[in-house]
Amino acid sequence: MSTPSPSGAPLASGLNLAQQEAVNYMHGPCLVLAGAGSGKTRVITHKIGRLIQAGLKPEQIAAITFTNKAAAEMRERAKSLIGKSARGVLICTFHALGVRMLRQDGGVLGLKPQFSILDSDDVTSILKDAGGSTDAATARQWQWAISAWKNNGLNAEQAEAQAANDEERTLARIMARYEERLTAYQSVDFDDLIGLPLKLLRDHAEVREKWQAALGHVLVDEYQDTNATQYEVLKLLVGERGRFTAVGDDDQSIYGWRGATLDNLKRLPVDYPALKVVKLEQNYRSTSAILRAANNVIGPNPKLYPKTLFSELGEGEPVRVLDCDGEEHEADRVVARIQSLRAGGELQAVGSQYKDWKDFSVLYRANHQARVFEKAFRRAQIPYKVSGGQSFFDRAEIKDLCGWLRLLTNNDDDPAFMRAVTTPKRGIGHTTLQALGTFASQYKLSLFESLFSNSLGTVLPAKAVGSLHEFGRFLNELEYRARHTVGAEDARVFLTDWLKDIDYERHLYDAEDSETVAAARWSNVMDFCDWMAQRCGGQIEDAAGTTLEKERKSMLEVIQTIALLSTISEREGEQDVVTLSTLHAAKGLEWPHVMLIGCVEGLLPFKLDEENELGSNAESIAQRLQEERRLMYVGITRAQRTLAVSWLKRRKKGRETIAGTPSRFIAEMGLDKTTVKEDPREKIRALRAEFAKRAADSAAAQALAEAKTGH
């Protein structure tokens, strides 16, 4: 008997037979091979409900995914299906689970519960210091190499032991100094949020037994994206009972460059001989024409578990292949196609409900391909967004300022303390901070509280204590000034004086090799300060220059809301705009109309010929080709109703223009009969749309003129 959902429908309603099989298998390890658009989130949420029906408490279930957005969607879907019970289920990313484990049990590794999580910019800065370099690009290369070592479970000592040459040995020593600094700062990086939980579970039996007892079933979404360390964490979480459900698709494994490995799929039946494998092959997203192209493209790849997607949505429009003279012509053709589809006409299968701007996307292999489309869309007055763009509040310079301001309102915010005390540098080194961190842990104080402890002089020399006292006094004075700064004008003075006092502008120019980049970052700082000042109220000007009177607030009151600022950028998803996105960023998304552009050799697949010239072995090149083919497959399966694929007869490569060769994947799609040189219907409908727009603009202008003259 099925447990009803809040709406009264049984939990199993709306599931096909394969989905029901996956949901109802609960007593051992289960691998669900979920093809693109096959309803994997539905399976996961229904299985959560089925596990609760079978007697597990919500708190005993963990559902782990890879992005906060996916976790939020899963949480909402579970809530609508099973109601209040969903609140108790642990639905989070791998990294959020790692944070939870380290906050609870990181003490056995020497971590305080308020440890700081460093972002990429923090890591680059610390590595520059640890490696004695001022070059940010070099530090980022070190960061990627160290990240790869950490993802493979290696610490600095192990990395040095297996180093293949002097360069790797030197980097392993830099990694050792980097790890020392993380310990000193009571901080972890993004990779540590997986590596340290693994260490917790592997080396501390009491912690491992606690978590295994707490979790009765673990569900993992996007399993094909897991790396070697994440697989080991999963194994130790579920123990020998192996009560887990891994949901993934080997055909959508496109993150090999960041450590994801298909070996994790191969290892499952070896490590868990009783593994139950369920294939989800019915696609609920795309037409048969689109799925046929997708199946044909992925066909040449070796299969761990063969499957073929099918759809009951009908044949649909044929997939179009557009040959273009160059990038500008390609952009013009995409604009014409969008205008044509919005105009309707002969494409009856498209349906009139798919004409909003948000129903269209343009997908590409590399970020630089977006530029020419941005220009073409602006000319045609087509609204758009570039997916994956950096949020204003994610910029390093804004994080720096927010760290300082957070510390004014909460002196116990150790991560903010670490950011403020080291940015800009003020003669307080990592040795001093290490001793301060140890002292704070010993006496269970925040770092700021420790500054003024009478016992601090017993662990630090007088000069270091003096520097710390000076920093503490400066913060106390800043907090007093912020409390008594009211209104926009005074706020601007406060912020300007503060930035001068810490010499932040010089810090930005010293940190960047390019003055242009430094100037852009300083401009962001000015924008942020202006925005903060306006929130303090009083007489301010709006965007049109009109003077407004707003409620006056103190600087400290405004700073106390700073944690809410980042939510501003999260509302952009509801905009009615065309999406420009890389294929990697598009994974997991879908649109009625997709245009997959730049499908030429050297872009998709990406530079395999150059790898050949550099002497990469045949096996490595074959694996890269397979991943590029999976990337093409992901792009094709984003489309619901129509798909157009374009290639360039000539394309830009650096400052040169070279001949373009159609991607081998176009031939693999099997679309010879539907290839079109130019679709006259698109041109005619685009022209009609343009003429209609001009006529409407002209009529509006005439009406406005008549209104002004009174005729």
Q: What is the β-pairing status of strands 244-248 and 30-34?
A: parallel
Q: Is the pLDDT of residue 473 over 80?
A: yes
623 counts as catalytic: no
Residue 638: active-site member: yes
158 belongs to the catalytic site: no
Highest CATH level, class, for 310-383+576-687: alpha beta
**Of 70, 27, 32, 66, the residue nearest 50 (C-alpha):** 27
Give tens-digit pLDDT for 417-441.
Answer: 888 998 898 888 888 998 898 898 8
Q: Give every CB contact of residue 694 below 8 A, 6+ residues apart in sequence.
A: none
- Output the pLDDT for position 562: 62
**Set 179, 191, 192, 221: catalytic member:** 221
Superfamily of domain 393-566: PCRA; domain 4 (1.10.486.10)
41, 423, 432, 534: the active-site residue: 41
For the chain, how big is the Rg over CA atoms in Å? Answer: 29
Own/partner contacts of 398-401, CB < 8 Å, gap of 24 or more, are 398/524, 398/525, 398/528, 399/119, 399/121, 400/504, 401/504, 401/525, 401/528
Choosing from 179, 191, 192, 222, the catalytic residue is 222
Residue 40 annotated to the active site: yes
Catalytic residue (choose from 65, 124, 252, 339): 252
> Does the structure show a pLDDT above 60 at 196?
yes
Query: pLDDT value at position 700?
Result: 61
Mean pLDDT of the 92-103 span:
89
Domain boundaries, the chain: 17-105+194-280, 116-185, 310-383+576-687, 393-566
CB-based burial label for 500 (10 Å; 0-12, 13-18, 19+): exposed
Please list the alpha-helical segments (H only) found in 162-307. 166-184, 192-203, 205-214, 228-238, 263-271, 288-298
On the question of a common fold for 17-105+194-280 and 393-566, the answer reads no
What value does the mean pLDDT take over residues 394-422? Answer: 83
173, 492, 548 from 538: Cα distances, Å: 55, 12, 8
Instruction: Identify the CATH number of the domain defined by range 116-185.
Output: 1.10.10
Q: Which CATH superfamily hosts domain 17-105+194-280?
A: P-loop containing nucleotide triphosphate hydrolases (3.40.50.300)
- How large is the average pLDDT for residues 259-264? 76
Question: Considering 337, 365, 638, 641, which one is annotated as catalytic?
Answer: 638
Q: Quote the percentage of the chain above a pLDDT of 70.
A: 85
Mean residue pLDDT of the chain comes to 83
